[in-house]
Amino acid sequence: MEAALHATALADTPFVTEVSRHLLAAGGKRFRPLLVVLASQLYADAAPADVVKAAVVMELTHVASLYHDDVMDSADVRRGVPSANSRYGNEVAILVGDYLFARASSTVAQLGTEYVALQAETFARLVQGQIAETRGPAAGEDPLAHYLSVVADKTGSLIAASAMFGAMVAGSPREVVAALAAYGEEIGLVFQLSDDIIDIASDTSGKTPGTDLREGVATLPTLLLGASEDPADARLRDLVSRPLSDDAEVAEALAGLRAHRVMDDARAEVERRAESARAHVAVLPPGEARDALVALCDTVVQRSS
């Protein structure tokens, strides 16, 4: 899959090839291809070449969206290297994101119209989620409900599609494909919500704690805090309601959140959704692939413990 991923990103000119492979070469978790492969192992009918194509489509679609996200967020770093927009400029980054999506589209066409339709629907959800995130909640809309909807569209949709692609190339029954779609949606939410907790709670994850606080990005713990009407939380609510550029304020916000009950509430929500994902896996045929999908629920939850 890794070799096919880099081969598919090959362009007609050395420069476009360099930029299109920029984030691929930086690595990444390859979480979506992993789900494609795991789901494809539930039955014995999956052709290895089709599994590779399905995995490449999902990862290229994901990476294409990262090029666009980094432009919108004015990001400087992605996967430990300079972001494409900071290195090559916004215009090139946007166009190369489009190029990678085109390469994913030409690959998915080799799998069949059912796969093309699912990829197109998934990308539409990604775009709508990004727009909703950019605009923010509408007047009178619950900020937490808005946030969870954004996460479902931006993260859950592609992870669900990855599990579905793997099941489809294995010729799985419709009920299995549907169960994996529901599983993927929940795991996608668990994945992002656990990241929200890690940004506040962890000093050992390899990420700088408080990055979201510095950028004023709403996350599960800060949104739960924002819903509190306790006068004792007034100072902490103020801190998490705006970007923090002062190191002392970041440290104060981190200390306050780590000691606050909202962290327990956030972890409980992550565990609740992981349990829901486990329930969807229960209908799948027994074996190593199902066991691995269950273990994945535990792994994602443990990241935020």
* Ordered structural domains, the chain, with CATH: 1-172 (1.10.600.10), 174-305 (1.10.600.10)
Beta-bridge mates of residue 82 = 77
Nearby residues of 61 by Cβ (< 8 Å), 6 or more positions away = 101, 104, 119, 122, 123, 126, 158
Cβ–Cβ under 8 Å, residues 270 and 304: yes
Cβ–Cβ under 8 Å, residues 167 and 40: yes
- pLDDT tens for residues 105-152? 999 999 999 999 999 999 999 999 999 998 999 999 999 999 999 999
- On the 0-12 / 13-18 / 19+ scale of CB atoms within 10 A, 229 is exposed
Q: How high is the pLDDT of residue 78? A: 78
Rounded distance, CA 265 to CA 273, Å?
A: 13
Strands (E), the chain: 77-78, 81-82
Tally Cβ neighbours within 10 Å of residue 6.
Answer: 14
How does pLDDT run along the chain (305 residues), one tens digit per residue?
Answer: 999 999 999 999 999 999 999 888 887 889 999 999 999 999 988 999 999 999 999 999 999 998 888 887 777 777 778 888 888 889 999 999 999 999 999 999 999 999 999 999 999 999 999 999 989 999 999 999 999 999 999 999 999 999 999 999 999 999 999 999 999 999 999 989 998 999 898 775 456 788 889 988 899 999 999 988 889 999 999 999 999 999 999 999 999 999 999 999 999 999 999 999 999 998 899 999 999 999 998 888 887 66
The token pair at 243 is 């970007």
- On the 0-12 / 13-18 / 19+ scale of CB atoms within 10 A, 105 is middle
